[in-house]
A and B are shown apart, each in its own frame.
Chain A
Amino acid sequence: MPGGLFLAVDPWINWDWLSTHVPHVLDALTEHVELTAVAIAIGLAISIPLGVLAHRRKPLRLLVLGFFGAFYTIPSLALFALLIPFTHLGGTTAAIPLIGYNVLILVRNVLVGLDAVPRDVLDAADGMGYRSTARLFRVEIPLALPAIFAGLRVATVSTIGIVTITALIGMGGLGSLIDEGQIENFHTPLVVGTTLTVALALAADLAIAGAQRLAIPWARPE
């Protein structure tokens, strides 16, 4: 039984268990990173073109923000559960909701970035003879990058947290350690899984901030 009595017996970290289960923990960590990376990469691949299109067409902007806004409101466990009959337990079912959430965060930030490009800059680019595609890739998107990076950080940190819930639909990842601790009433995997999730989120956040510094040194991350 969990609760007061049990606490006295089971320490929060059992170092013996941990030392013999390093590969087990590393597997979970790797699975966690993989699912997060897939959800972020596909999210970005959808969001940048979608954001550019939505920036140019007002009705599309309202449609995209409305649809993904509603999608974002729906709890992840509900979406996983709704997808199980169609995509079964596993990676696809886990990835689709995560991608959808990331699209909302990223599209919104692409739009914020593109909206903030000053009119004068666009006029100057036109005056210098840029065609619209060249202007987009060489003027507008570079100027929108700080906002896109900010969105990328939020999306990554959120995704790392939500990936733990995919353990409930049979996925691995750090959530499976949390689930293990829960089912067996054994604290060590629970504490290791939770702590590593937080650490992974903070590390990813720092890494992306670092990448931003290298990629666009003129705009300091907040």
Chain B
Amino acid sequence: MSFLDSVWRWFVDPAHWQGADGVPTRLVEHLHLSAESLAVAALIALPVGIVLGHYGRFGGLAINISNAGRALPSFGILVVAFQVFGLGDLPVILALTALAVPPMVTNSYVALREVDPDIREAARGMGYRELAQVLRVELPLAVPLIMAGVRTSAVQVVATATLAAVIAGGGLGRYIIDGIATQQYVTTAAGAILVALLALATDLSLAGVQRLLVPRGMRLLNAPASTRAATFKVA
């Protein structure tokens, strides 16, 4: 039986789709860790990036934070968090949050900075107060780049959550790590396929959200707005 056949058999075996080590449980664990970390990171990063971008302050900091973030080894950060905080979800979520913050700060800063100054001026001329100007003029125009940052962070969080298995966490990484440990490479490959599909699905579904959030006026403009986040890969 070829290796690929064995992997196929793994997937169609009902035993792998139930119980504490079944795919649904592991998938939910993985999504739970990822979503929680991404939400916390977004709550921290987006307001900071948006405020700095609106006022155009601390630009060097806002831009360099993702360069610095790229230099952090996700595996090391995760293990350090485990040694400090012990077993459980907390160390994983803290490490994932730390890795997810930088691209979102940088992108939301750049997004607000790239709003055409003429449009800001027009908004002020039309009598918008500052808060309304940010919420109703600048933010909608900044959506493509902000969402590009969220996408980048989300994909990295899903990727790094795979490493949670190393520090006795759950998630789809369990199949990969346990498979390597017991030299059952069919399990490893099955886990790898699931993780790869989840990362691609995360990227695609957030691309869909991005499309929905972009105001219709901008879509009609078909402006060549730069929608690509700074290249960021840590896992």
Contact = CB atoms under 8 A, between A and B. Distances in A.
Q: Do A and B share a complex?
A: yes
Interface of A: 1-4, 6-7, 70, 72-79, 81-82, 84-85, 101, 104-105, 108, 154, 157-158, 160-162, 164-165, 167-169, 174-175, 178-179, 181-182, 185, 187, 190-191, 193-194, 197-198, 201-202, 205
A71 B191 CA distance: 17
Q: Is the interface of A mostly helix, strand, loop or mixed?
A: helix
Nearest to A4: B86
Nearest to A76: B235
B85 A3 contact: yes
A164 B75 contact: yes
Interface in B171-186: 173, 176-177, 179-180, 185
Nearest to A3: B86
B109 interface: no
A87 B71 CA distance: 28
A178 B79 contact: yes
Given A6-B83, A178-B76, 20 more contacts: A73-B200, A75-B195, A77-B192, A78-B159, A78-B162, A81-B179, A84-B185, A104-B231, A154-B70, A154-B231, A157-B71, A158-B231, A168-B163, A178-B75, A179-B79, A182-B167, A187-B83, A194-B76, A194-B79, A201-B71
B158 interface: yes
Contact of A1 (B86, B160, B179, B200): B86
Contacts of A181: 79, 83
A75 B165 CA distance: 14
Given A84-B188, A154-B231, A77 B195 contact: yes
Contacts of B80: 190-191, 194
Contact of B73 (A70, A78, A169, A198): A198
A185 B191 CA distance: 27
B111 interface: no
Contacts of A190: 76, 79-80, 83
B189 interface: yes
17 contacts: A4-B86, A7-B83, A70-B200, A75-B162, A76-B235, A77-B173, A81-B192, A82-B189, A158-B233, A161-B74, A164-B74, A168-B75, A178-B75, A181-B79, A191-B80, A194-B73, A202-B71
Interface in B192-235: 192-193, 195-196, 199-200, 203, 231-235
B225 to A, nearest CB: 16
Contacts of B77: 194
Contacts of B48: none
B70 A157 contact: yes
Contacts, number: 151
A14 B174 CA distance: 31
Interface string B73-105: 111110110111111000000000000000000
Contacts of B25: none
Contacts of A73: 155, 199-200, 203
Contact of B235 (A1, A77, A174): A77
Contact of A75 (B85, B188, B199): B199
A191 B79 CA distance: 10
B196 A82 contact: yes
Given A161-B74, A194-B73, A78 B195 contact: yes
Contacts of A74: 195-196, 199-200
Given A82-B192, A84-B185, A101-B233, A161 B83 contact: no
Contacts of A1: 86
A85 B73 CA distance: 26
Contacts of B188: 81, 84
A153 to B, nearest CB: 9
Contacts of A160: 71, 73
A193 B83 CA distance: 14
B71 A75 contact: no
Contact of A175 (B75, B85, B200): B75
Nearest to A69: B203
Interface in B131-185: 155, 158-160, 162-163, 166-167, 173, 176-177, 179-180, 185
A21 B29 CA distance: 39
